């Protein structure tokens, strides 16, 4: 039974370690890891670099018109043990996590045509199973039949502190207040948008990792995985 390759959907709030967790699970199971937030970030970066976001204001019509020019793909990077994201052949992995993209990504991801395009790509990528996909609508919209759905959350200040450490380690000059503000406003935007808002799927299991180590999260995951696999 253990070789059944399932779909694992991980949704939840911003900056609660979904990608780190998803990546570790994928490595453990030999599954593909897909960071869908990176796809929304890549579209946002492209829109910003091509004049569709000016002074933080997103021109939805222009973004929609641009979608046909945006070709996203993932290529495995053995050094990171995960895939890097490319837009029209350019590696953008290092550019999509900054505060500017973070501040506009919720607005871009609320555009129906953007979601339509990215959801279709995600469904295609996960169709054969053996994937861990993280995002906001994976268990509710992209793969409502996923065998294992996890809804992750953590205290907002704990999340802000984690993201702050990550960004300052990379040399970004940001303040903890800016990050906290971004985390809270993205939660609000993600949960209140009209199309595919972030919400826990009825059959998702909740993981609040505010005070959990990575090891504790992994042993929690093992229990959930065994429950599903042993049916
Ligand atoms: O996971 P992340 O913080 O990198 O995601 C960036 C943004 O993309 C997030 O604020 C909301 C949006 N997003 C989404 O709307 N749907 C997804 N499946 C993934 C991300």
Query: What digits encode the pLDDT tens for the residues 22-49?
Result: 999 999 999 999 999 999 999 999 999 9
Kindly state the average pLDDT of the residues 156-164.
95
Q: Are strands 72-77 and 82-87 parallel, antiparallel or unpaired?
A: antiparallel
Q: What residue's CA is closest to ligand 1, atom 15?
A: 109
Q: How many domains does the chain have?
A: 1
Dist. CA 13–CA 15, nearest whole Å: 7
Domain membership flag for residue 67: yes
Q: Is 110 in the pocket of ligand 1 (CB under 6 A)?
A: no
Q: Is 98 in the pocket of ligand 1 (CB under 6 A)?
A: no
Dist. CA 216–CA 15, nearest whole Å: 18
Dist. CA 4–CA 27, nearest whole Å: 16
Residue 202, φ and ψ in degrees, nearest 5: -55, -35
For residue range 41-95, list pLDDT tens digits in order: 999 999 999 999 999 999 999 999 999 999 999 999 988 878 999 999 999 999 9
Average pLDDT, the chain: 94
Q: What residue's CA is closest to ligand 1, atom 18?
A: 135
- For residue 103, pLDDT over 60 is answered with yes
Domain membership flag for residue 227: no
Instruction: Give 2's pLDDT tier (boundaries 50, 70, 90).
Output: low
Helix (H, G, I), strand (E, B) or coil at 140: helix
Q: Which domain holds residue 108?
A: 7-216
pLDDT of residue 1: 44
Q: Is 143 in the pocket of ligand 1 (CB under 6 A)?
A: no
CA of 59 to the centre of ligand 1 (A): 19
Closest CA to 125 of 105, 108, 147, 142: 142
For the domain that residue 204 is a member of, what is the CATH number? 3.40.50.300
CA of 198 to the centre of ligand 1 (A): 9
Domain membership flag for residue 228: no
**Which two tokens mark 200?**
């826990």
């Amino acid at each position: 039974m253990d070789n059944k390759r399932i779909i694992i959907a991980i949704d939840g709030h911003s900056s609660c370690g979904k990608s780190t967790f998803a990546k570790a699970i994928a490595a453990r199971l030999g599954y593909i890891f897909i960071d869908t937030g990176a796809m929304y970030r890549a579209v946002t970066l492209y829109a910003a670099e091509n004049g569709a976001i000016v002074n933080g204001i997103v021109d939805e019509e222009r973004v929609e018109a641009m979608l046909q020019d945006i070709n996203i793909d993932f290529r495995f990077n053995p050094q990171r043990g995960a895939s890097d994201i490319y837009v029209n052949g350019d590696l953008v992995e290092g550019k999509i996590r900054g505060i500017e993209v973070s501040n506009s990504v919720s607005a871009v991801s609320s555009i129906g045509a953007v979601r339509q395009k990215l959801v279709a790509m995600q469904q295609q990528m996960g169709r054969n199973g053996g994937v861990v996909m993280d995002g906001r609508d994976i268990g509710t919209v992209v793969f409502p039949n996923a065998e294992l759905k996890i809804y992750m959350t953590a205290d907002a200040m704990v999340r802000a502190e984690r993201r702050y450490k990550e960004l300052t380690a990379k040399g970004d000059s940001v303040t903890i207040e800016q990050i906290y503000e971004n985390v809270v406003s993205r939660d609000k935007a993600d949960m209140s948008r009209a199309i595919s808002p972030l919400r826990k799927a009825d059959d998702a299991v909740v993981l609040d990792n505010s005070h959990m180590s990575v090891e504790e999260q992994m042993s929690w995951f093992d229990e959930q995985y065994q429950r599903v696999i042993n049916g």
